[in-house]
Amino acid sequence: MTRRVGLVLLAAALAAFLIAPDRFAPLLRPLTTNGAPAIYTQTSLLRLALSHLALVGAAVAVSTAVAVGFAIFVTRPAGRDLLPLARSVASIGQTFPPVAVLALAVPAMGFGAGPTLLALILYGLLPIFENTLAGLASVPPAVIEAARGTGMTPAQRLRAVELPLALPVILSGVRLSAIIALSTATIGSTVAARTLGEVIIAGLLSSNSAFVVQGGAVVAALALLISGLFREIERALTPAAQRPGG
């Protein structure tokens, strides 16, 4: 309950700042010098935050679909031999830094959200893929045998038994991927993607610490909220006997 109250209060504070950032200017003004503005006004902070979240949401959705699909395929009899290949594909994003992916993608895709989206998708595959494998492997064989004994087909067992039982572990991987994407998306502003990195970069270029702090604080608050929301969902989907202290 305390965690939920904290999340609500954090969400309320973040919403208040994004909707009316000028009211928080006195708190940030000590970080400015030579009369520089305390609040970034080139673009609405709320609009940047929504654009940032949309980019992250799209990337995580694609990463989830691809990674979960790969994991399901390589855990079926027809695809088990391809597990090493699938793991190598999922590891591509972790092998190359996002900056390198952006540098390689810009010549082909141009500036904007495209290269950033590609980098986030590749970077988010591995956590979801590995957690999906772990979740499917954690399903008790006795449960699968019982489902088989009731006459369920492999597809029915996957849909009605394996995926629901593995879902909390899968969501843990999605949560990690979302947090990685949320922080990594800030560098997308270097290739003209509309993200909160625009505020941070503007602060660095103008030596305005107030911009850097507000951009970083919004990203950090969003990360805490997303992580907290996913943890609540994971807890709700985890049987009471499997929870810590349960």
Total tally of structural domains belonging to the chain: 1
Q: What is the pLDDT of residue 113?
A: 86
Decide if pLDDT at 11 tops 60. Answer: yes
* Token pair listed for 245: 């202290």
Q: What is the pLDDT of residues 111-166, one digit of tens each?
A: 888 899 999 998 899 999 999 999 999 999 999 889 888 889 989 999 999 999 99
Decide if pLDDT at 61 tops 70. Answer: yes
Q: What is the pLDDT of residues 171-182, one digit of tens each?
A: 999 999 999 999
Angle at 229 between CA 227 and CA 232, to 5 degrees: 110
| Residue 81 placed within a domain | yes
Closest CA to 84 of 121, 133, 139: 133
How many C-alpha atoms does 227 have within 13 Å on its Cβ side? 15
Decide if pLDDT at 22 tops 60. Answer: yes
Sign for the pseudo-dihedral over CA of 97, 103, 107, 112:
positive
* Token pair listed for 107: 């010549």
| Residue 35 placed within a domain | no
Q: What is the pLDDT of residue 64?
A: 96
Q: What is the pLDDT of residues 180-222, one digit of tens each?
A: 999 989 998 888 889 999 999 999 999 999 999 999 999 999 9
Q: How distant is the alpha carbon of residue 146 from its chain centre?
A: 35
| Residue 193 placed within a domain | yes
Quote the radius of gyration of the chain (alpha carbons, Å): 21
Angle at 134 between CA 220 and CA 147, to 5 degrees: 130
Q: What backbone torsions phi and psi does residue 207 show, to the nearest 5 degrees?
A: 55, 35
Decide if pLDDT at 240 tops 60. Answer: no
| Residue 30 placed within a domain | no
| Residue 164 placed within a domain | yes
State the residue range of the domain holding 60: 44-242
pLDDT > 90 fraction of the chain, expressed in percent and rounded: 60
Q: What is the pLDDT of residues 95-106, one digit of tens each?
A: 777 777 888 888
Decide if pLDDT at 42 tops 50. Answer: yes
Angle at 157 between CA 239 and CA 91, to 5 degrees: 80
Place of tokens 């970077």: 123
Long-range pairs for 135-144: beta carbons < 8 A, 24 or more residues apart: 135/165, 135/166, 135/167, 135/168, 135/169, 135/170, 136/71, 136/72, 136/75, 136/162, 136/166, 137/75, 138/165, 138/166, 138/169, 139/165, 139/166
- The domain that holds 173 is classified in CATH as 1.10.3720.10
| Residue 13 placed within a domain | no
| Residue 18 placed within a domain | no
Q: What is the pLDDT of residue 112?
A: 82
| Residue 21 placed within a domain | no
Q: Residues 6 or more apart from 93 whose CB is under 8 A from it?
A: 101, 119, 121, 122, 123, 124, 125, 126
